[in-house]
Amino acid sequence: MLQLHHDTKKFYLFVLITTTISGILFILPDFIFYPTVGFKGAVYTALHWALNCIPLLLIFYIISLNRYVYLISFPIFILTGTTIAYYSYFYKATLTPMIIDATLNNDLRTSLDVITPYQAIITTIIFFISVFIARYRYKNIHISKTTYHLAVAVTILIVIFTINDRVSTSFYQRYPISLFYNLNEYRKLNAYKNTTRINPDPTLKYKANEELIVVFVIGESVRADHLAINGYKRNTTPLLTKQKNLVSFKNIYSEYTYTNPSVAHILTRADSINPELSKTEKSFITLFKNSNYRCTWIANQDASTSYYSFMKEADSLIFVRPEKSVYTYSNWLDSDIIPHYISTLNQPHNNKLIILHTIGSHWFYNSHYPSSYKKFNPIAKSKIVSQNTPEEIINSYDNSILFSDKILNEIIENLKNKNAILIYLSDHGESLGENGNWLHASDDKYLKNPACFVWYSDTYNNNNTLKIKSLYNNKNRRYRTDFLFHSILAASSIPSKTIKNKLNIFNYE
């Protein structure tokens, strides 16, 4: 019995040591750049890191129970973890379904180009160390009652993944659970991509012949009342304010207060009476394609199963920063969209639909504007909301809008000599301390009033005088985000029978 007790303690100590070392190597890189301040922030970060090591501990516990399993699986875990951690630490990259997609779909030579000699040396050294550790377990660790240990570990693993959604969501973003989670997300995205959806207007027989560029910009967390073009006290839109041919719609209502259902709703005929259409029908992209438009989706956000099938309706899908997710806090800027946007504009096809999905003003706001746009100070110091003053959070938020003003202005400037129309609509707004609420995904009126505006070129104005007159007549009306599907088709003169005039902001009847 004493020998059994000694072996059990040795086993526990072995699992704890290997977990701690692996947690430092593979999980800590996600927390090195964690934006927090002071002793409280350091404690929070340390506890958050330790919490995210628990699944790693339990998985190592399980595979350590059998020496043969451990001999094979431990080096594989270490090799994979080292690769992910290397890119996290040196490139501020995280594992996402889009990274998996790029890896699997690029040719082998392209995938190998991202491997550096330094990475190869580090990975090789750590791999051989892991083999040594696995051999040590094989020869020196003895454990009995493995069924009991397995039952305990699996039970704890199930409990921690079901006890709290916020905790389990954090686990999904950290190694090794992130590996299984993102592989499954990649599988689901491809399953949704191939989902059979109904064409909302299969009888449409229209082939556009005039040259027209239609740009739809999906904003992120931008509320209407924080734009200077809508009367906000701060000049958050100095460049857009100077743009002629820009009409702001400040009375838009969003049913949804977070991205995934909101974007799916916006792209389809779904409305408050028929919300299920976002799950059963194709988007307006298909109607544009069937009308002789070259359709391109340029994404500066990660994909979601709720709208990935719509992204794949486009002729071309470009992920600007596939290595980024909302759980990383390094710079993630919409300026990276611009080169892809300009390249798309220069393509020879006459008729183009370009959808730009921006990261906009997503929390942590500081990550989404460069230091040169710190106009409103002091700014937020920590991703822990309670560690910042309301003034600091609002300043950071307004700075992110100021930078979006610069990006949107550049998008518009590249359209001025063309026959072009641009619609900007944020997916939802943002809570900024009203009634004690912050950020989004809650029930708050400020979340349900997203920013929206339309810009048109002089050429478009000359060709569509009645539409532009109606645009100004309708700008103070109240619309739900349902208007987008009908209005973007009408703006492009696509004669679809699906268009409802009461939801068409260009309607002049």
pLDDT digits (tens, 9 = 90+) for 268-292: 999 989 999 999 999 999 999 999 9
| Averaged pLDDT, 208-217 | 94
pLDDT of residue 369: 97
Mean pLDDT along residues 225-239 = 98
The pLDDT of residue 93 is: 83
Range with the lowest mean pLDDT among 25-29, 82-86, 87-91, 325-329?
325-329
Residue 212 is predicted with a pLDDT of 97
Bond preceding residue 450 cis, omega within 30 of 0: no
88 within a domain of the structure (yes/no): yes
In a shared domain, residues 147 and 236 = no
Q: 243 pLDDT exceeds 50?
A: yes
**pLDDT at position 40 over 80:** yes
Q: What is the pLDDT of residues 244-255, one digit of tens each?
A: 999 999 999 999
Cα 240 to Cα 409: distance, rounded to the nearest angstrom: 6
- In the structure, what pLDDT confidence band is assigned to residue 34 with cuts at 50, 70 and 90? confident
Q: Are 176 and 54 in contact (CB under 8 A)?
A: no
Within this chain, do residues 244 and 133 fall inside the same structural domain, yes or no? no
Question: Which of 131, 158, 193 is a domain's end point?
Answer: 193
Q: With respect to residue 201, please indicate whether it lies within any of the assigned structural domains.
A: no
H/E stretch holding 318:
strand 316-319
Q: For residue 108, what are the CA distances in angstroms to 18, 115, 299?
A: 33, 12, 24
Strands (E), 153-250: 213-219, 246-248
Residue 92 has a pLDDT of: 79
Which letter does DSSP use for residue 81 in this model?
Answer: H
The alpha-helical segments, DSSP class H, found in 316-438 are: 337-345, 390-413
Mean predicted confidence (pLDDT) in 459-484: 97
Q: Which helix (H) or strand (E) holds 97?
A: helix 97-105
Q: Give the orientation angle of helix 54-64 with respect to helix 2-22, to 10 degrees.
A: 130
Beta-carbon contacts of residue 119 (< 8 Å; ≥ 6 apart):
83, 86
Burial 429-441 (b: 16+ CB within 10 A, else e): bbbbeeeebbbbe
In this prediction, residue 30 carries a pLDDT of 86
Which one, of 221, 227, 264, lies nearest residue 442 by Cα?
221
The pLDDT of residue 1 is 43
**Sign of the alpha-carbon dihedral angle for 394, 400, 406, 408:** negative
Question: Both 355 and 478 in a single domain?
Answer: yes
Indicate the pLDDT class of residue 294, thresholds 50, 70 and 90: very high
Q: Which residue has the tokens 């990550």?
A: 367
Same domain membership, residue 165 and residue 290: no
Domain that holds residue 135: 2-193
Q: Is the pLDDT at 78 greater than 60, yes or no? A: yes
Same domain, 81 and 124: yes
Number of domains in the chain: 2
User: What is the model's pTM?
Assistant: 0.91
* Pair (183, 280) in one structural domain: no
pLDDT greater than 70 at residue 3? no
CATH for 484: 3.40.720.10
pLDDT classification of 367: cutoffs 50, 70, 90: very high
Task: Tell whether 200 is covered by a domain.
Answer: no
Taking 60 as the threshold, does the pLDDT of residue 241 lie above it? yes
C-alpha–C-alpha distance, residues 404 and 411, integer Å: 10
pLDDT at 94 over 90: no
Question: For residues 502 and 132, what is the distance between their CA atoms, to the nearest angstrom?
Answer: 71
153 & 220 share domain: no
Residue 149 tokens, joined: 């240990």
Say if 330 falls within a structural domain. yes
246 & 370 share domain: yes
CB-count burial class (<10 Å; 0-12, 13-18, 19+) for 253 = middle
Shared-domain flag, residues 175 and 218 = no
444, 437 contact by CB (below 8 A): yes
The reported pLDDT for the residue numbered 109 is 55
Q: Is the pLDDT of residue 473 over 80?
A: yes
Question: Could you tell me if residue 203 is inside a domain?
Answer: no
Task: State how far the Cα of 357 lies from the Cα of 483, in Å rounded to an integer.
Answer: 18
Mean pLDDT of the chain: 92
Is residue 509 included in any domain, yes or no? no
Q: Are residues 417 and 323 in the same domain?
A: yes
Mean per-residue pLDDT, 467-473: 97
Residues 343 and 411 in one domain: yes
- pLDDT at residue number 163: 83
Cα gap 418→213, rounded to integer Å = 8
- Computed from CA positions of residues 277, 281, 283, 287, in that sequence, does the dihedral angle turn out positive or negative? negative
Q: Model confidence over 99-152: pLDDT tens digits?
A: 888 777 665 555 555 678 888 899 999 999 999 999 999 999 988 888 988 999
Q: Does the structure show a pLDDT above 70 at 38? A: yes
* Model confidence pLDDT, tens digit, residues 312-351: 999 999 999 998 887 777 899 999 999 999 999 999 999 9
Tokens of 243: 């743009």
Query: With 90 as the cut, is the pLDDT of residue 90 above it?
Result: no
Residue 107 has a pLDDT of 55
* pLDDT of 460 higher than 60: yes
For residues 149 and 248, state if they share a domain.
Answer: no
* 424 contacts 220 by C-beta, under 8 angstroms: no
427 to 250, 327, 441, 473: CA distances (angstroms)? 14, 19, 11, 24
Band of pLDDT at residue 165, cut at 50, 70 and 90: confident
Contact 425, 450 (CB under 8 A): yes
What is the residue type of 226? H
182 in a structural domain: yes
Nearest to 417 by CA among 248, 195, 213, 140: 213
Q: What is the pLDDT of residue 210?
A: 85
Q: Convert 431-465 into a string of H (helix), E (strand) and C (coil).
A: EECHHHCEECCCCCHHHHCECEEEEECHHHHHHCH
Find the mean pLDDT for residues 84-89: 88
Q: What's the pLDDT score for residue 113?
A: 59
Residue 453 lies in a domain: yes
Q: Taking the CA atoms of the chain, what radius of gyration do you get in angstroms?
A: 26
With CA atoms as reference, report the closest residue to 97 among 188, 194, 186: 186
What confidence category does residue 2 fall into, taking pLDDT thresholds of 50, 70 and 90?
very low
